[in-house]
Amino acid sequence: TNGLVVETKETLDPTEYPTVALKCVEQCPSAASINTTAAAAVALSMETEGYPYVVSPFDPANWPIIASGEFAGEHYNGILASDVKTYTFDGLTVKDATGTAMGFAASVTEAAVGDASYYWPWDGGASYGDTIKWGVRTGRLVPEADLAKLDCPRSSEDATQYRDDHPIHGKDAATTPRYCMDAFWDPTYNLNEWYEIRFGITQWDRQSYVVDQSNSAYISFARPKMLRYQVPDDAVKYGDDAGKNVRLEFGGFGDLWGIPGEVIDTLTGESLGEFHHGDWKDTYRYVSRFIIEAHNGVDPVLTDPNDDAITYKVKALQGEEFLLNKPAVVGT
């Protein structure tokens, strides 16, 4: 029968991390390879302009690309069982098979790596690559109990042989067991759940969690979530917005939408109103009319619109400041 396949993604909090080891067949980094990539990027960015490439964070053994011989560089399915990588979780930490924590060190920042990119591990770096600032993502990971479902397709005439004769590893499933990714796209394998892990240096790749201090439980923020903010009743600072209740929407880490805004001319500081219908200048910016911040020593809180007893703390991650021109000091 025909059907529609629906794929959903969910970001897990630490209480939902797998309690079993995960197996990586394709696109598998290690703690050492990530550190090597990061160190090379930092060293290059100090003296190299443009978009330099550095060593890949992925193990070349975990790519369906023939590494040597007559067919070197060609795509061919099948990763040896001996090359499958194992990841485990320890609290907030992901560890590789050596028990070493994986991820970029805190000292590896966007500024430190610049525009350096890593290459995919084939063709000696002549192939496509990705910018390191975009992060490093594993391939699809499965618990060990599901690894057998990734066994490469067997011959219908002899179940001890693989259907395809691999140019390097041959067909014998007993001597060179191999895993393929076919099962992820074939519903008959019933492989309906898998994991992916991202390692990165940006704020969206370095997750932050809120912990209830009374019971050490992680607090889950479902998104989108509607919230209410009461603007402090201070007309001097907040103008016409003072004392109003503003409806906001939490869209995920770093995203809080609904703060009323206006167009300003950053050159003069003039407000052009909430909407501007004239010509747009490079000095114009659409900005929030106010900042959600502490007022008179009281930290701001957001409230559940359906229950005033449920409150949330909020703090800006970043912002902008504009400096006005001061004619008296021009040229000094």
Q: Which amino acid is at 88?
A: T
**Are 21 and 162 part of one and the same domain?**
yes
Instruction: Please count the other Cβ atoms lying within 10 Å of the Cβ belonging to residue 132.
Output: 29
- Measured between alpha carbons, how far is 186 from 192 in angstroms, rounded to an integer? 10
Residue 28 — φ and ψ, nearest 5°? -120, 110
| pLDDT given at position 65 | 86
Q: Of 140, 164, 199, which residue constitutes the final position of a domain? A: 199
DSSP 195: B
Closest alpha carbon to 169 in 311, 286, 71:
71
| pLDDT given at position 44 | 82
**Are 156 and 298 part of one and the same domain?**
no
**Are 170 and 273 part of one and the same domain?**
no
Look at residue 9 and tell me if it is in a domain: no
**Are 156 and 279 part of one and the same domain?**
no
Look at residue 164 and tell me if it is in a domain: yes
- Measured between alpha carbons, how far is 311 from 259 in angstroms, rounded to an integer? 18
**Structure token pair of residue 142:** 């499965």
- Note the pLDDT tens digit of each residue in 10-19: 888 888 899 9
Total domains in the chain come to 2
| pLDDT given at position 14 | 85
Map tokens 């209480």 to a residue. 15
Q: Please name the residue ranges forming H helices in 263-308.
A: none
Q: In which domain, by residue range, is 31 found?
A: 14-199
**Are 72 and 159 part of one and the same domain?**
yes
Look at residue 279 and tell me if it is in a domain: yes
Look at residue 7 and tell me if it is in a domain: no
**Are 46 and 178 part of one and the same domain?**
yes
- Measured between alpha carbons, how far is 328 from 332 in angstroms, rounded to an integer? 9
User: How many alpha carbons lie under 13 Å from residue 167 in its C-beta half-sphere?
Assistant: 14
**Are 175 and 308 part of one and the same domain?**
no
Q: What is the DSSP string of 36-100?
A: HHHHHHHHHHTT--S--EE--SB-GGGSSB--SSTTTT-B---EEGGG-EEEEEETTEEE-TTSP
Look at residue 210 and tell me if it is in a domain: no
Which residues of the chain fall below pLDDT 70? 1-3, 45-51, 122-127
**Which residues in 201-275 belong to E strands, given as ranges?**
210-212, 217-219, 225-230, 245-252, 255-257, 261-265
Question: Going by C-beta distance under 8 Å and a sequence separation of 6 or more, which residues neighbour residue 309?
Answer: none
Instruction: Please count the other Cβ atoms lying within 10 Å of the Cβ belonging to residue 213.
Output: 7
| pLDDT given at position 258 | 93
Look at residue 204 and tell me if it is in a domain: no
**Structure token pair of residue 69:** 């011989």
**Are 181 and 239 part of one and the same domain?**
no
Look at residue 3 and tell me if it is in a domain: no
**Structure token pair of residue 118:** 């890593």
Look at residue 205 and tell me if it is in a domain: no
- Note the pLDDT tens digit of each residue in 118-134: 988 766 556 678 899 99
**Are 109 and 176 part of one and the same domain?**
yes
**Structure token pair of residue 30:** 């290690």
**Are 311 and 248 part of one and the same domain?**
yes
**Are 187 and 230 part of one and the same domain?**
no
Q: Of 133, 166, 199, which residue constitutes the final position of a domain? A: 199
**Are 53 and 167 part of one and the same domain?**
yes
| pLDDT given at position 137 | 95
- Measured between alpha carbons, how far is 313 from 300 in angstroms, rounded to an integer? 7
Q: Of 146, 167, 199, which residue constitutes the final position of a domain? A: 199
Closest alpha carbon to 118 in 200, 55, 63, 61:
55
